[in-house]
Structure 1
């Protein structure tokens, strides 16, 4: 929440409020709005689909309360009994017919404070109670939860409460990802070892975007532009990238990173290169890169034999006899369009770096100054794009690619 730029007024954990849900369940039973049911799942489903009441539907409140207290005490096993909300058994939508409000769960809650509870509310009951208690006036929900408002409406009617206004949002699919925007799908791929975790750069998750250096504000701006609609929509990552670029460009130092570099002996030229830390901020100074006797460039940047390139921040070289020979040409050769500007790193003092991207890892070497950046800092690898430094150690630096 804080990452997205919001500050909650209060943090409430449902697992701290189980006793509150029990109290409302008791009131609902006394109001004639709920009953305990020991039908098997398939048995009740068949009855429900035929719009027929189960044998327990007319159970009196006293018996229901007695059995519910036994549920609270943990006297039943999972599947033995549930507490159902008494709705309209002939409702045209079978999903709304006498839905389950409480069930038994044996798996201990991960929070120690709640590990002793075995009778747990279903989400529609729990959130419905919370929305009333916290005076919620508007609810934003996914289109797949349209039935939730209708289910909760029965509870609100029993208690005489006014239901909040609901805005439904269609499914949002983010382009540029090969992984479906589905928690179950992502979880399956993590368990299968196809993804490293929820923050894998290939996963369409907030954690993944954050680890890549995408600011929360950029996500909020892009989502706000979409607006709310019950139609399914595609969110273009380009809109998030554009918003993020506006936020990080000015503060991101520039660095060189060469992927799968080709080493070339350097003949002549300065011993040290001094490219700017940021082209628009001379006051930040330059970064000193020791050149040494050889450099690495990307394979596609090696010119044909006899042709020239401009090593950015260093100067012009001609590809001669499988080496780069410094020529001393003026920058005008670049302005005239005769010579391409390419990035490079020193062959000897460069740093191994692994760049994690949505398309897999890219390996190469970065200029030595990359080691001075702390984890979570964002830099721009010139001619490649922005990346967030993740860690240094084990013989390499690791960064996560954000966008161009």
Structure 2
């Protein structure tokens, strides 16, 4: 006994759907056993014909696995959109326990430098520190580390931009500090540090000190008395010395195997008349380095657990000397690997250079890997959450491809993105209707929302994409999405433009699926609107000009839509009869 014709077609259709869906879920490769089990579950009567069933399923799985991932998704979305509407189940990844943590007493912090806004890599310590603080019912601190007005000059607007990005991530904080407004506190601590014999005023030039450091010997100023150092420190604060003449060094081990640890610089003079600070102007000239300001504030603010990148390992070593001098207990410190994203620009210097040379918006250009840039590109915060949950506090570096990010983002935006048609390089088609006909374009398969186009009997002209020309001419047949099945019967030319002359063969979607007809999008010439689609490609922003459905004008800025057979895009601007969109991904 073998599969009869009607059952065979039913099995093929179900196998095709589940092979596509299985491939979509597993990186482009469908599993034969999984597909067979789905067929049997959906068509119980096929169980007794397992040999024939395996043969049919294997052929279809092989066919699907030869497709690219993008083609698999496109065919699945066009023919079986309901299969993509599975409910998203958030798999909350449990945070690893913090070492030596007491519920109600954990204090974490996120301490960005406002010399630019934050990117995906910064989102990791921000989210992890916030999640741990809430998990342990503790406190979470936001601290702006802005004590280098010369080489890492803060952007005045970056303070608010960072706060907006954190709010978008779903982060709220219990306390907020700006280090540039705390300089008198740092002066007081350094004075005490000198009194304890843990710091000194060094008048050696950089070149001179490097010689001593490489030899593992202290410079002549290291052994000066506490009183002499206190007197010199007061002179520094009063403005007696100029930039480059003196620094305040923290005493460490001059024989330490890492030369950078040996008597590191804790404070230095910065001429703020030439490099005014955006918050405090030129009020101060003596500024703490990162390690001094960070180390002091972590103690004064009661931080119990520090979560930061592995590149800070040497800073942890340096700061522990400060804590030993002051008799403080150093926080528990967790160092994790770098988190980077391929396919976007993450370098602050490169972003700044592009902003200056190309006149770009400084923070949210969709080519940038900043959170605001990703958001403008249609990436939702739940995607960032999932990526950070996946990498957690692992010590190794994590490099995320944009394809992986898109895969995570697609699952989250697909259920909320309405479908619209748009065509690139419009190609005119002409056919005749014998009767009045309605075309139903599904806006979203989960809600069954539709938009209805009504056509009167007679000659019809529509636009399709020129990129579909080769495919539909090769097959000779195609289906207009939500409308009619057509056969090409001729072609006319007017100068450089051409028109495909067609005839209607039917209106059944099932027939088109059965015959595996190409299903293409279209627009009505009298109801089309101009669409500018901006696609980020590394350092370039490629602009495509399309014609889209007029209903796109009803969308609001920041809405994410799916352009059928093109991909997901975020509405960037709606003006008059035109729409600007940023391409997200397929």
Please indicate, yes or no, whether the TM-score normalized by the shorter chain is above 0.5: yes
Aligned counterpart, 2:383: 218
63-72 vs 32-41, which moves further = 63-72
Q: Distance in 2 between matches of 1:244 and 1:73?
A: 55
Tell me, yes or no, if structure 1 residue 168 matches structure 2 residue 325: no
Is 1:37 the equivalent of 2:202? yes
Change (3 A) 1:60 1:387: same
Larger mean CA deviation between 232-241 and 45-54 belongs to 232-241
> What is the rounded CA distance, in whole Å, between the counterparts of 1:281 and 1:308 in structure 2?
30
Residues 103 and 119 of structure 1 are in contact (CA less than 8 Å); yes or no, is this contact kept in structure 2?
A: yes
| Contact 1:376–1:390 (CA under 8 A) maintained in structure 2 | yes
1:117 to 257, 277, 284: 284
**1:314-353 correspondence runs (5 A):** 314-319=483-488, 320-321=490-491, 322-325=499-502, 327=504, 329-331=506-508, 332-353=510-531
The residue number in structure 2 matching 1:279 is 445
- In the TM superposition, residue 164 of structure 1 has moved relative to its aligned partner by 1.1
Once the two structures are TM-superposed, the CA of residue 212 in structure 1 deviates from its matched residue by: 1.0
Which residue in 1 is equivalent to 2:561? 379
Shift of 1:156: 0.3
Which segment is superposed worse, 81-90 or 145-154? 81-90
Q: Distance in 2 between matches of 1:36 and 1:293?
A: 86
Distance 1:370 1:195 in 2: 26
Give 1:67's aligned residue: 232
Question: Which moves more between the two structures, 257-266 or 206-215?
Answer: 257-266
Residue of 540, 546, 552 corresponding to 1:370: 552
Q: Secondary structure at the match of 2:545?
A: strand
Which sections of structure 2, spanning at least 5 residues, go unmatched? Answer: 1-165, 492-498
SS in 1 for 2:419: strand
- 1:273, distance to aligned residue in structure 2 (A): 4.2
CA contact (8 A) 1:258 1:345 kept: yes
Aligned pairs for 1:161-310 (under 5 A) are 161-175=328-342, 177=343, 179=345, 181-193=346-358, 197-265=362-430, 267-268=432-433, 273-282=439-448, 285-288=449-452, 294-302=461-469, 303-304=472-473, 307-310=476-479
Q: Give the drift of 1:85.
A: 0.7
* Aligned-residue offset at 1:395: 7.1
1:186-222 Cα offsets, whole Å, 9 max, x none, are: 4344444497644332333322211111112211211
Q: Which moved more, 1:371-380 or 1:12-21?
A: 12-21
The separation in 1 between residues aligned to 2:425 and 2:282, in whole angstroms, is: 52
> Match for 2:250 among 75, 85, 89?
85
Post-superposition CA distance 1:362-401 (Å, at most 9, x none): 3322211112111111111112221111112387422122
Aligned residue for 1:354?
532
1:238 Cα deviation from its structure 2 partner: 3.9
Checking the alignment, whether the CA contact within 8 Å between 2:483 and 2:507 is kept in structure 1 is: no
C-alpha contact 2:440 2:482 (8 A) present in aligned 1? yes
Q: Counterparts of 1:22 and 1:324 in 2: how far apart (Å)?
A: 83
Task: Say yes or no: does 1:108 pair with 2:276.
Answer: yes
TM-score normalised to the size of structure 1? 0.89
Q: TM-score, normalised by structure 2?
A: 0.63
The root-mean-square deviation of aligned C-alpha atoms, in Å, is: 2.6
